[in-house]
Structures are given as structure tokens and as C-alpha cells.
Amino acid sequence: MSRRRVIAGVLKALQGRYPTTMLGGWSAGGAGPFRHLIGTILSARSRDEMTERVCDRLFRRYPTPERLAAARSRDVERILHDIGFYRTKTRYVIDSARRVVGLGRVPDTLEELMEFPGVGRKVANCVLVYAFGKEAIPVDTHVHRLANRIGWVRTRTPEETERALSEIIARRHWPIVNEVLVAHGKAVCRPIGPKCGECAIRRECARGAKC
């Protein structure tokens, strides 16, 4: 069996096995691109549960790009205070809202999104996948770790992992890679104390096969 078919089988086996991630839930619930953009910026170095609570508070107070663009920094800081790097993220989200207002839309290309403050490849690819349904592979710490642990790649950085995965995974499967691996990484394939005995893809995993 080809490597691509094996990986496709793993993704299929994991898809829908766990509760959706924060971004997956927003996508399923019809959240717009602006919420995905701001939420993903806020999610850096923050747990989904905290990010979701803070986003809910932020969007209750500032439900549109125009409202957030006109917000005072100190008011936004109070809302974001519970999240890591809240002062920096306050600047990022207000500046991003101003850019969206100026453009009249949230961009739907990697290049345009990466011009926004606080937006790197991972955030931009998340917006492309979850907000616009485009073919991209967002690689965060979970995806980078699992892709190496399972044995799909041997890479040192998320950027290297993204490039490697794009070569061995069929494009039609790209949009589910982040959702599937992040959910699996949180529920079973944890950084410390992975539950190999409960793993549905143990036979296809370089580490699991040795357990």
C-alpha cells in the first residue's frame, strides 16, 4: 500500500472520533472569517478553553470589525487580561480589525493574511481552512509533534513539517489534517504519557508499534 493511502487511512480512522476543536466548532457553527482571524491570533500560547471564553467576551463587547477597530486599548486589555501576552494581543487584534475595515473583508490568501500583525503561517492557514474551506495544512505544536511521532516526517520545525506533509498527503485531505491531529493529540497522543493502549492508529504509528 502506498504511503499516501496509509496516511489517508489514518486520517479517516481519526476523523470524527473526538469532539471538535475550538476552530472546528466555530466552523461547524458558521462563525465568520473575522472571528476565526481574531480567535486564532488570540489562541497563540493559550488553551482553547481560555481562548474561547475570552473571545466570547470580546465579541459580545465588539461584535463587528468596525467596533473593535474603534476600541480603546485599555478596554480591550481588560477583556483579554486572562490570556497570555494580552497587551501584545490587544495591539494585534485592534490593528487587525482596522485592516479588515480598510480592506472591507478578511483576506482569503496566505500572502495577504500574513501581512496582518500577529499572523504567521499557522494562523493564516487556520483561517484559510476553517473560515474559507481552502486547501492548506495549519501546523501547530500538536501537528508537528504527532507527524514526527507517528513517523510520517522527520523535521525540526513546524515550517519544515508543513512542507513535508504537503508532499505526502493528497491535497483533498489537507483541510482535515489540523483538526484530526490536534484532537487526537489532546485526547490520546499527549506530549507526556500518551495513551498508546487506547490509540486507534497504534499499528500505523512508529512509536505505538513498539509499545
Q: What pLDDT score was predicted for residue 209?
A: 64
End of a domain among 111, 132, 153? 132
Together in a domain, 162 and 81: no
Together in a domain, 175 and 157: yes
3-state helix, strand, coil in the chain (%, to 5): 65, 0, 35
Averaged pLDDT score across all residues of the chain: 95
Task: Pull the grid cell for residue 75.
Answer: 478596554
Q: What is the mean pLDDT of residues 167-177?
A: 96
Q: What pLDDT score was predicted for residue 95?
A: 98
Q: What is the mean pLDDT of residues 23-36?
A: 94
Q: What pLDDT score was predicted for residue 45?
A: 87
Together in a domain, 8 and 84: no
Q: What is the mean pLDDT of residues 46-61?
A: 95
Together in a domain, 27 and 109: yes
Residue 208 pLDDT > 90: no
Together in a domain, 39 and 117: yes
Q: State the pLDDT confidence band at 206, using cuts at 50, 70 and 90.
A: confident
User: Is the CB of residue 94 less than 8 Å from the CB of residue 72?
Assistant: no
Q: What is the mean pLDDT of residues 186-199?
A: 94
What distance in Å separates the CA atoms of residue 60 and residue 67, rounded to the nearest whole number?
A: 11
131-155 pLDDT per residue, tens: 999 999 999 999 999 999 999 999 9
Q: What pLDDT score was predicted for residue 1?
A: 62
pTM of the model: 0.93
